[in-house]
Amino acid sequence: MLVAFDFDGTLSDSEMTVLLGNQNGTAQDMADITERAMNNEIEYAESLRQRCELLADLPDEQAQAAFDEVRLRPGAAEVIAALREAGHYVAILTGGFERGVEAALKREGVEVDAIVANRLPVVDGKLSGNVRGPLIEGTKDDALEVATAIVGEDWDDTIAVGDGANDLPMLEVAGLAIGFEPKPAVEPACDVTVSTMDELYVLLEERGAL
């Protein structure tokens, strides 16, 4: 079985662009743009570009300091480890940034099978203000389709876990759509919702995934 997780707002309660914004005084602007995007009030790609523009000229060492602050939610590492031990393919599909995801996983000593994420180009030791990657214009149903093809699974044998509007495409096509404290615009697309990683662990046990 393939299990796909969103990262910011799902596996992590950190919001990477806000942590980055703390480094140059733009955190509140970041949070406002993020909230609009997650509630489906602004296109995700546009919101991401707006947030990354606010990071132009941030020294890369400060960006790395922000990525090092990214944390998994309590219990998230245990869920990931249990899924992989059970033989499932675990993917993280996020519009956030690969370096932050990798830092959080390394801190907890857990691994996943695939990370599909974006990145912030660095020019002369500073962030350029641009963003690159597969999940800017690309959507998470496309990423999930690629992952299912790699693993050889059917849509019916996939689980997607997310919270925001950019998770809607994968939640709508997954065999089981789990909302993690989903935004109001997202909840109708969820088969079931949870509010803690402990609840998610129990749900996965009940559904025979663990």
Q: Which residues are catalytic?
A: 6, 8
> What length is written for the chain?
210
8 Å CB contact between 38 and 162: no
What's the CA gap between 201 and 210, in Å, rounded?
8
What's the CA gap between 155 and 149, in Å, rounded?
10
